[in-house]
C-alpha cells in the first residue's frame, strides 16, 4: 500500500498545474481566462505550503497585499486580469494536502508529525539536484558535504546528527529511495532526477522507519510509469562550460503493463577553483550521468507489481580542501604546530597559523583559490534494483518491498598542502539486500492498524592506502564491516471520537555487527600487506544489539482545518565500529554503543481562509542516553578520529512555517527554526571539557523565505518569477566546540529563476541563478591528518535551459 500511494502524494498536484480545457470549449479571451484559472489559480499547489507542496485542489480568491518590490511591476500590469477572474475563483474550497509520512496515504491534517513534502515542480523551480540542497527548503535541517558539488552528505535535523563523514558510520537520518533504506552517507549521494516528491519528516521516526531515524527520515519517490504516452526533455547551458540534459518517456507497452525510462547528465568542463600551484590546473570539474528504467504491471484488480532499475556514474574532480591550521585537542584557540620553516613563511595563511610542519596553504584571502599539487579525484558508480508488490484485499493491503544496491567510489584525497603531508587513496564499496513486508488496514474505521517485518544484510568495505611522508612511511588500512538486522513493527491509531485520535506504535530491533580490519605500516611500499609489514592495529570482533523503539501520541482535530498534536517518542540509533584511515593501536577500533533518544513534541497545524494561509509550529525537547559523537585522539603527529558515547545531552527548540497566497498565482513562504543544545561534561583526547558545549552541526537559528508569482502575458504565454533566500547562524562541526572548527555562518544564499511558459505547446524557457550574490560560504570543516581542512561550496552559477513536455 505504501508504494501504491506514494506517487499520488504530490504528483497529482503537479499535473493539475498544467491542466487545460480543450480549445473547442472556449476561445479568445474567455479561453485565456479559463487557462489562467486552471494553472495560475493553483500555483500554490506546486511552489510551497506550510509543510508540503502536494495534492491541493483549491483555487484562490484575489486579495490585497503588500507585494515585494521585485513583484510590483508584473502584479500591477496584470491587476485587471486578476480582477476579471475574481468571480471564477470565488468558489474556492478547502484544499487537501496528502502525504505518506506514516507509510500510508493521509491528509497532512490527520498526521501528528512535522513533515515537509516537496513536489517535482518545486524541486525543479528551486533546482534541487542533490540531497544536500534540501536544507534551503525548510527549517532546522542542516546538511554538510565532504566535497563541493555534493558527496557523502551528513544530515542533521533539529540538531540531531553525526559529526562524521566515514561510510562505516550509521547516519542519524534514515533516507529512503522508493521505499528502500540507504545504509550510509555514501549510498545517499544519489542524483535527483525525474523525482516525483520528497518528504522530510522531523523528529525520531524509529517506529516506522527503523533503527537509524533518531533525527528523522527523508523519503524520495521517483515519478511512476503512466498509462498514457507522456514525457519531457530538458537541455541547458551554464557558466564554467556547464551542460545539463534530462528527459523521461512513459506510457503503456501492453495490457496492464506500463514503462518509464529516465536519463540525466550533468557536465562542468571548467573548474571554479583557481589553482595557484605552479603548472596546476583549475579544479572543480563535474561529469555525472544516470539512468532509471521502470516497469509497472497491473496484474489484476488486486495485484500490482513495479520494478525499478537504476545506474549512476560520476568521474569528478570536485574541488579541494583548504588547509587553515593544526588543531591540538585542549589547546588554546588557534593552537598550531609550533615549528614553521622560515623558507615557507610566505605560505603561512592570513590567519597566521601553520597547517603542518611544511607551512600552511593560504596565499590568498579568496576562498576559491588553492595551491594544490595533487588534486582530489572521485570516480563512483551505483546500481539499484527494487521490486514492489502490492496486493489489495477487503479492508487491508499487503506491500512487499525488496531492494538491492551496490555503491562504489574510488578517490584520491590529498591534504591540500603545498608539500604533501598525507594523501589517502580509497576504494569504498557497499552492497545491501533488504526486504520489507507490510500489512495495513485501508479505509476509515475506529481502529486503523499497520504492522510489518524488515530484514536486511549489508557489507561496507573501505580499504585505504595512506601516503604520509611526515610519518616516514605509507599505511594500509583494511575495513570490512557486516550488518544484519531483523525488525518487527506495528502501529495502532484509535479514532476515539471524530475529533480525537490516540496513536501507539513500537518496533523491535535486533542487529548483529561484525568487523575485521586494521592498519599496517607498508614497509616496502608496494601497496599490499605482506611479510615485513608492521601491524599497528587490528580488530576482529562482533556486537549484538536488541532494542525497542516506541511512540505514543494524541491528535485533536476540532475542525478539518485545525490539528493540535502531541507525542512522546523513543528512538534508537545502533552502535558500530569506527574505520579511521590510519589507526596506531587497537583501542582506537573498539566498538561504540547504540544511543537512545527520548523526544517530547507538541504541534499545531492550521489552514485559514480556504488555504490562503497555512501555518504550522511545533515545540520539542530531546533527552539523550549514550549520545554518539566523533572525538579526536592525538597520537604523535597524527590526529585519529573515533566514536565515543556521552552520558548526558539534551536539545530543545521550535519550528515555525508559514505559507501565504495573497493573490492568484502567487505564494510566499517563510520558514524559521530555533534550537538550544547542551552537552554534559566529557573527556576527549585526554582533555576534560566542562558542561555546556553545543551539539556539532546544530545552528541556533535557521531561516528561509521564498516567493513565486506566475501570470498570463498573452493567451499562449505565461511568465513565472521565483526567488529564495536562506540564512543560518554559526555552527561548530565538533562536539569539543574548538574555535578552529567553528563555521561563523553560511552565506545568505539567494537563488532566482525567470520562466517563460507556453502551456499549450509544452515549452518552458528558464533563466536561473544559484548563489546569486556570489557569497563565499563554508560547507564543512574537519580534520585530515594534522591539517584542519575546510570545504567551500560553489560560487555563483547561472544558465539557460529549455524544457519540452509532451
pTM: 0.84
- What's the average model confidence in pLDDT over 287-297? 96
Distances (CA, A) of 547 to 69, 195, 215, 508, 572: 55, 34, 17, 6, 7
**Angle at Cα 736 formed by Cα 356 and Cα 536, nearest 5°?**
55
pLDDT exceeds cutoff 70 at 18: no
* 481, 518 contact by CB (below 8 A): no
Mean pLDDT of the chain: 80
- Per residue in 608-625, pLDDT (tens digit) is 998 899 999 999 999 999
**Angle at Cα 377 formed by Cα 375 and Cα 382, nearest 5°?**
170
453/54: higher pLDDT:
453
List the helix and strand counts (H, then E) for the chain.
9, 43
CATH code reported for the domain at 2-805: 2.40.170.20
pLDDT-derived band at 39 (thresholds 50, 70, 90) equals very low
* 771, 133 contact by CB (below 8 A): no
pLDDT exceeds cutoff 50 at 220: yes
pLDDT-derived band at 2 (thresholds 50, 70, 90) equals very low
CA 162 – CA 4 distance, rounded (Å) = 33
- The predicted pLDDT at position 439 comes to 97
Tell me the residue ranges of DSSP E strands in 647-786: 649-660, 666-679, 682-684, 687-689, 701-714, 717-728, 731-732, 742-743, 749-758, 763-770, 778-784
620, containing H or E segment:
strand 613-625
Give me Rg for the CA atoms of the chain. Answer: 27
CA 79 – CA 83 distance, rounded (Å) = 6
pLDDT exceeds cutoff 80 at 250: yes
- The predicted pLDDT at position 114 comes to 95
The most distant pair of C-alpha atoms in the chain lies apart, rounded to whole Å, by 87
pLDDT exceeds cutoff 80 at 715: yes
792/73: higher pLDDT:
792
Taking the domains of the chain in order of start, what are their residue ranges? 2-805
CA 384 – CA 405 distance, rounded (Å) = 4
CA 574 – CA 593 distance, rounded (Å) = 7
- The predicted pLDDT at position 320 comes to 63
**3-class SS of residue 752:** strand
CA 175 – CA 153 distance, rounded (Å) = 11
- The predicted pLDDT at position 298 comes to 96
Dihedral class, residue 28 (left if φ above 0, else alpha if ψ from -120 to 50, else beta): left
For the stretch 78-105, what's the b/e string if a residue is b when 16 or more beta carbons lie within 10 angstroms of its beta carbon? beebbeebeeebeebeebbbbbbbbbbb
- The predicted pLDDT at position 330 comes to 39
CA 447 – CA 107 distance, rounded (Å) = 17
308/333: higher pLDDT:
308
Instruction: Please report the sign of the dihedral spanned by the C-alpha atoms of residue 65, residue 69, residue 73, residue 74.
Output: negative
* pLDDT > 70: percent of the chain: 77
- Per residue in 163-173, pLDDT (tens digit) is 887 887 888 99
- The predicted pLDDT at position 393 comes to 94
For the stretch 350-369, what's the b/e string if a residue is b when 16 or more beta carbons lie within 10 angstroms of its beta carbon? eeebbbbbbbbbbbeeebbb
Q: Which of 94-98, 205-209, 293-297, 350-354 has the lowest mean pLDDT?
A: 350-354
322/460: higher pLDDT:
460
pLDDT exceeds cutoff 90 at 426: no
- Count Cβ atoms below 10 Å from residue 478 Cβ, excluding itself: 17
Least Cα distance to 570 among 604, 594, 593 occurs for 594
- The predicted pLDDT at position 146 comes to 78
For the stretch 49-76, what's the b/e string if a residue is b when 16 or more beta carbons lie within 10 angstroms of its beta carbon? bbbbbbbbebbbbbeeeebeeebeebbe
Those residues with Cβ within 8 angstroms of residue 729's Cβ, 6 or more apart along the chain or in another chain: 699, 700, 701, 702, 745
pLDDT-derived band at 287 (thresholds 50, 70, 90) equals very high
CA 584 – CA 579 distance, rounded (Å) = 12
pLDDT exceeds cutoff 70 at 650: yes
Instruction: Please report the sign of the dihedral spanned by the C-alpha atoms of residue 785, residue 790, residue 795, residue 797.
Output: positive
- What's the average model confidence in pLDDT over 659-688? 91
CA 634 – CA 327 distance, rounded (Å) = 10
- The predicted pLDDT at position 234 comes to 97
- Per residue in 722-742, pLDDT (tens digit) is 999 999 998 988 898 887 788
pLDDT exceeds cutoff 50 at 137: yes
**3-class SS of residue 97:** coil
Least Cα distance to 353 among 792, 738, 747 occurs for 738
- What's the average model confidence in pLDDT over 707-723? 95
Amino acid at each position: 500500500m505504501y508504494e501504491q500511494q506514494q506517487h499520488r502524494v504530490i504528483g497529482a498536484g503537479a499535473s493539475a498545474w498544467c491542466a487545460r480545457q480543450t480549445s473547442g470549449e472556449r476561445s479568445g479571451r474567455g479561453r485565456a481566462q479559463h487557462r489562467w484559472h486552471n494553472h495560475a489559480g493553483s500555483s500554490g499547489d506546486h511552489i510551497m505550503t506550510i509543510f508540503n507542496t502536494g495534492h491541493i485542489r483549491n483555487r484562490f480568491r484575489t486579495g490585497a497585499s503588500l507585494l515585494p518590490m521585485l513583484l510590483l511591476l508584473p502584479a500591477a500590469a496584470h491587476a485587471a486580469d486578476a480582477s476579471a477572474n475574481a468571480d471564477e475563483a470565488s468558489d474556492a474550497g478547502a484544499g487537501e494536502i496528502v502525504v505518506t509520512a506514516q507509510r500510508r496515504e493521509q491528509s497532512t491534517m490527520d498526521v501528528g508529525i512535522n513533515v515537509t513534502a516537496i513536489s517535482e515542480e518545486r524541486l525543479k523551480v528551486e533546482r534541487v539536484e542533490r540531497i544536500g540542497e534540501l536544507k534551503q527548503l525548510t527549517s532546522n535541517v542542516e546538511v554538510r558535504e565532504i566535497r563541493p558539488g555534493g558527496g557523502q552528505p551528513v544530515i542533521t535535523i533539529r540538531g540531531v546528527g553525526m559529526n562524521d563523514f566515514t561510510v562505516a558510520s550509521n547516519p542519524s537520518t534514515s533516507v529512503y529511495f522508493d521505499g528502500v533504506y540507504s545504509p550510509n552517507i555514501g549510498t545517499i549521494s544519489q542524483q535527483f532526477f525525474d523525482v516525483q516528491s520528497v518528504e522530510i519528516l522531523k523528529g525520531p521516526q524509529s517506529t516506522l522507519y527503523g533503527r537509524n531515524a533518531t533525527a528523522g527520515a527523508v523519503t524520495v519517490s521517483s515519478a511512476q510509469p503512466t498509462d498514457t504516452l507522456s514525457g519531457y526533455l530538458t537541455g541547458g547551458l551554464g557558466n564554467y562550460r556547464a551542460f545539463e540534459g534530462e528527459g523521461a518517456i512513459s506510457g503503456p507497452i501492453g495490457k496492464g503493463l506500463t514503462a518509464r525510462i529516465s536519463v540525466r547528465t550533468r557536465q562542468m568542463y571548467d573548474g571554479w577553483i583557481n589553482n595557484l600551484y605552479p603548472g596546476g590546473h583549475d579544479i572543480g570539474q563535474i561529469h555525472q550521468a544516470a539512468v532509471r528504467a521502470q516497469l509497472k504491471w497491473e496484474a489484476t484488480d488486486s495485484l500490482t507489481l513495479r520494478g525499478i532499475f537504476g545506474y549512476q556514474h560520476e568521474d569528478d574532480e570536485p574541488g579541494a580542501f583548504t588547509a587553515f591550521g593544526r588543531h591540538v585537542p585542549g589547546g588554546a584557540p588557534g593552537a598550531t604546530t609550533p615549528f614553521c620553516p622560515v623558507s615557507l613563511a610566505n605560505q603561512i595563511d592570513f590567519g597566521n597559523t601553520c597547517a603542518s610542519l611544511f607551512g600552511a596553504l593560504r596565499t590568498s584571502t579568496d576562498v576559491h583559490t588553492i595551491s594544490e599539487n595533487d588534486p582530489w579525484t572521485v570516480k563512483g558508480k551505483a546500481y539499484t534494483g527494487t521490486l514492489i508488490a502490492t496486493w489489495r484485499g477487503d479492508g487491508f493491503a499487503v506491500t512487499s518491498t525488496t531492494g538491492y544496491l551496490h555503491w562504489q567510489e574510488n578517490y584520491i584525497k590529498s591534504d591540500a598542502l603545498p608539500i604533501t603531508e598525507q594523501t589517502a587513496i580509497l576504494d569504498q564499496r557497499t552492497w545491501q539486500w533488504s526486504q520489507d513486508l507490510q500489512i495495513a488496514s485501508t479505509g476509515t474505521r475506529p481502529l486503523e492498524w499497520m504492522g510489518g517485518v524488515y530484514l536486511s544484510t549489508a557489507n561496507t568495505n573501505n580499504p585505504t592506502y595512506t601516503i604520509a611522508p611526515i610519518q616516514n612511511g605509507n599505511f594500509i588500512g583494511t575495513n570490512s564491516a557486516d550488518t544484519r538486522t531483523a525488525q518487527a513493527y506495528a502501529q495502532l491509531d484509535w479514532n476515539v471520537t471524530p475529533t480525537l485520535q490516540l496513536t501507539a506504535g513500537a518496533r523491535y530491533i535486533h542487529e548483529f555487527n561484525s568487523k575485521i580490519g586494521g592498519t599496517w605500516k607498508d614497509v616496502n611500499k608496494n601497496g599490499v600487506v605482506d611479510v615485513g609489514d608492521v601491524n599497528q592495529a587490528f580488530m576482529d570482533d562482533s556486537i549484538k544489539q536488541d532494542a525497542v523503539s516506541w511512540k505514543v501520541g494524541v491528535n485533536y482535530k476540532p475542525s478539518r482545518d485545525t490539528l493540535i498534536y502531541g507525542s512522546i517518542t523513543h528512538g534508537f540509533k545502533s552502535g558500530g565500529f569506527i574505520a579511521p584511515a590510519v589507526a596506531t593501536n587497537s583501542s582506537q577500533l573498539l566498538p561504540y554503543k547504540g544511543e537512545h533518544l527520548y523526544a517530547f513534541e507538541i504541534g499545531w497545524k492550521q489552514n485559514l481562509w480556504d488555504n490562503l494561509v497555512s501555518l504550522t509550529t511545533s515545540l520539542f525537547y530531546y533527552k539523550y542516553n549514550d549520545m554518539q559523537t566523533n572525538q579526536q585522539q592525538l597520537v604523535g603527529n597524527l590526529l585519529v578520529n573515533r566514536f565515543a558515547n556521552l552520558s548526558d545531552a539534551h536539545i530543545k527548540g521550535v519550528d515555525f512555517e508559514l505559507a501565504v497566497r495573497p493573490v492568484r498565482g502567487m505564494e510566499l513562504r517563510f520558514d524559521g527554526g530555533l534550537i538550544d543544545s547542551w552537552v554534559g561534561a566529557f573527556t576527549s583526547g585526554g582533555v576534560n571539557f566542562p558542561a555546556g558545549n553545543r551539539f556539532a552541526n546544530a545552528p541556533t537559528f535557521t531561516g528561509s523565505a521564498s516567493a513565486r508569482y506566475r501570470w498570463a502575458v498573452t493567451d499562449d504565454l505565461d511568465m513565472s518569477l521565483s526567488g529564495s533566500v536562506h540564512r543560518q547562524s554559526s555552527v561548530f562541526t565538533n562536539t569539543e566546540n574548538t574555535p578552529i572548527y567553528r563555521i561563523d555562518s553560511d552565506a545568505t544564499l539567494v537563488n532566482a529563476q525567470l520562466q517563460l511558459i507556453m502551456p499549450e505547446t509544452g515549452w518552458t524557457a528558464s533563466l536561473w541563478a544559484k548563489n546569486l550574490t556570489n557569497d563565499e560560504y563554508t560547507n564543512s570543516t574537519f580534520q585530515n591528518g594534522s591539517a584542519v581542512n575546510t570545504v567551500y561550496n560553489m560560487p555563483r552559477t547561472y544558465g539557460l535551459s529549455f524544457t519540452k513536455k509532451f
